[in-house]
Structure 1
């Protein structure tokens, strides 16, 4: 099957002035998902040829959609399972390339299309179409939350929210709740948030974490205790200072989020230290571009060879995504194994490493703060570096944090659900 551009003919449809706004008497069609799509901009006109639908919006912008894309993203029960909204259509089973025979702009603002070769009439929701305008990706493709790089010297404390009573409030996947929305926006945008006045019962972190998503178990368990203990299997379980690092860079997919929940803290010292690893990497790129390029290319060995486990992974210290944006950093000196790089890369790699290590000691990057019982910090473990000042246990007192890991996916999913609930509430109030 293939599209035949030479066979295209042009058809037009324009809504009358009396029906430019959505008719309340005629419901809009379903969408191929469970989300709510407000119609913030109405469609004023459409035209089409067999392979392309052109849409003109009330604000003057124009969108284009391929016939094959529209056919695959319809919401009827020949395309998606209405119970799960998962696609059941197999395009290769159609007799020929799907084309548009006729398109009509309905009074309620939806678009109805007759498709060949099936002779199937399908309707499309205008709010959904606007949100999925792939012909204008530069204009419309926005991140879930804009990313903000920061320096510790520019702030006195993390973004901090009062969580008093949060765990006592009713919760379900469709509820509108401003606290987790603000918290997740901070985590996704800045990499860090602190919640205060949460319960301090041991183990309560599990229920707190599940307000976002299921914890990720590791060899340290679902929850782990961060406090000095005899016979430690990690430097974290001592009173020693810890250098800036991410956790578990030894894994193929290091945990996306880390939660640290303070249950007790009346020791001397032990301040938390956080720094934006992406801001450090950006500073390296600006000041030492050759070293930056080396650390995005050379694969370092990360190893955690404990008594009962042996985790090893090789990856660059700074990773970029397909668009060249920062995706993650893997910085943890105490978890690096021997560098196994090509011979000519070894000296440049160490030169770049030492330059990065010097940057990490610059005070402008570090944000220091103390934990109080009931505090919870949530941070992006693939972006933020965390550290700790040494604390003194010789004079009594205790410092007890419980921690767990989640995935970035859980935070993004939960935030999308909260935004969906907000949109649905606005539609119901309209």
Structure 2
């Protein structure tokens, strides 16, 4: 690339340009809009830009060098030919362009933004430096990395859920810093460990819905939007009895079983009924280490999950341990009382059951079990596609045990966590 100091002609079909950022401070309002609603602080300014027809190269003041393809830049512009400014949704169809989009000229403008002239349209586009830095795919180690690094955990006598005081949470204003001070660490624990406990909430029925909706929409199922977990006559689930429940996830019978479960304690004066939580990812990792063949089998054989209730008939087939495209743990579907007859290749049946029994043996090991007793006002939120929950039997006539529950999706946790981070960035920019 050959450096130039003058602005290139808009009529040239290709250019190779290098320009240096001005040292003068620039008001944030002078920067161009971005193709989203987020705020992108300019933590590091651009030192210079160079280009050929298909690649823009940005050198930052901290020495990082980033490359962006011309077609990627054209599709991610923020002008009204690319996005609807009212919705920030894309309206550009790249296939409708006359030819492959190329960079005819590139420079840094006085605000520190990148200005491009794109051919064959001869359209001028500007790019916010903070947005470009945040979307530097040339230096991104893993674009699929989770928002918060996943951390597996073991149980034991001294183990307890991450716990936060939420005694004032339900009365804080939505989107306020006070709400964020509780909600952000709670969601971070959910993303990292799959489990968090909020203490001190009111014990009035319906409180759960108001709290859960601060994360996202509640998912309705055949058990309702809010469901009461307590012993009752003519139960339609083992959960609505006083018997012990083995480690399980809820609703594995669904194509997409709920990603998040909330259980809010309204009353608990019974003898027994202690809650048990296990990190299904930790159990799966242990199986992978101790019995790789069993682990492999459980990631491949599709088990039949069935809920043949009196008024509904849900059935789904899935591996018991689900991996993502990178081979990382994505979900577990473990619920012995919701498995129907195994329907698979004849030659796989015995190995499938051997693998199942190896997993069941791990689930009984005390090293994985985190045990605790619900106190009235406790709200336990957990990842239903990762954690297994269980319950000791309790004496039904020894008192009252009443939990209210609901389901949400993992997407809601990630969305709300991103929004909390966005609001923090907006506050930081407004305070600057």
Q: Report the TM-score, using the length of structure 1 for normalisation.
A: 0.95
1:415 aligns with 2:427: no
Count of residues paired in the alignment: 421
Equivalent of 1:131, from 131, 134, 148? 134
Change (3 A) 1:52 1:175: farther
Cα distance in structure 1, aligned partners of 2:74 and 2:325? 28
Change (3 A) 1:306 1:103: same
Change (3 A) 1:117 1:262: same
Cα distance in structure 2, aligned partners of 1:14 and 1:153? 60
- Which residue of structure 2 lines up, in the alignment, with residue 15 of structure 1? 20
Cα distance in structure 2, aligned partners of 1:117 and 1:10? 14
- Which residue of structure 2 lines up, in the alignment, with residue 206 of structure 1? 209
- 1:405 deviates by 0.2
Once the two structures are superposed, the pairs formed by residues 8-407 of structure 1 within 5 Å of their partners are 10-16=15-21, 18-19=23-24, 22-24=25-27, 27-138=30-141, 142-153=145-156, 155-172=158-175, 177-395=180-398, 397-407=399-409
- 1:351 deviates by 0.4
Q: Which moved more, 1:97-106 or 1:170-179?
A: 170-179
- 1:121 deviates by 0.4
Cα distance in structure 2, aligned partners of 1:410 and 1:16? 40
Q: Which moved more, 1:270-279 or 1:137-146?
A: 137-146
CA contact (8 A) 1:151 1:279 kept: yes
Q: Give me the CA root mean square deviation.
A: 1.7
CA-to-aligned-CA distance 1:192-233 (integer Å, 9 cap, x gap): 000001111112211111111111000000011100111111
CA-to-aligned-CA distance 1:91-124 (integer Å, 9 cap, x gap): 1111111100001112322100000011110100
Q: Which moved more, 1:51-60 or 1:171-180?
A: 171-180
- 1:125 deviates by 0.6
Q: Structure 1: 5+ residue runs without aligned partners?
A: 1-6
CA-to-aligned-CA distance 1:16-55 (integer Å, 9 cap, x gap): 5624xx5127621100000011111111111100000011
Cα distance in structure 2, aligned partners of 1:10 and 1:167? 58
Q: Which moved more, 1:9-18 or 1:327-336?
A: 9-18
Q: Structure 2: 5+ residue runs without aligned partners?
A: 1-11
Change (3 A) 1:319 1:154: farther
- 1:403 deviates by 0.2
Cα distance in structure 1, aligned partners of 2:157 and 2:119? 60
CA contact (8 A) 1:175 1:418 kept: no
Q: Which moved more, 1:101-110 or 1:221-230?
A: 101-110
Q: Which moved more, 1:190-199 or 1:152-161?
A: 152-161
CA contact (8 A) 2:14 2:104 kept: no
- 1:141 deviates by 6.0
2:415 match: secondary structure: helix
- Which residue of structure 1 lines up, in the alignment, with residue 5 of structure 2? none
Cα distance in structure 1, aligned partners of 2:325 and 2:144? 15
- 1:136 deviates by 1.8
Change (3 A) 1:32 1:42: same
- 1:188 deviates by 0.9
CA contact (8 A) 2:303 2:320 kept: yes
1:426 match: secondary structure: helix
- Which residue of structure 1 lines up, in the alignment, with residue 4 of structure 2? none
Change (3 A) 1:388 1:230: same
CA contact (8 A) 2:299 2:323 kept: yes
Cα distance in structure 1, aligned partners of 2:13 and 2:141? 28
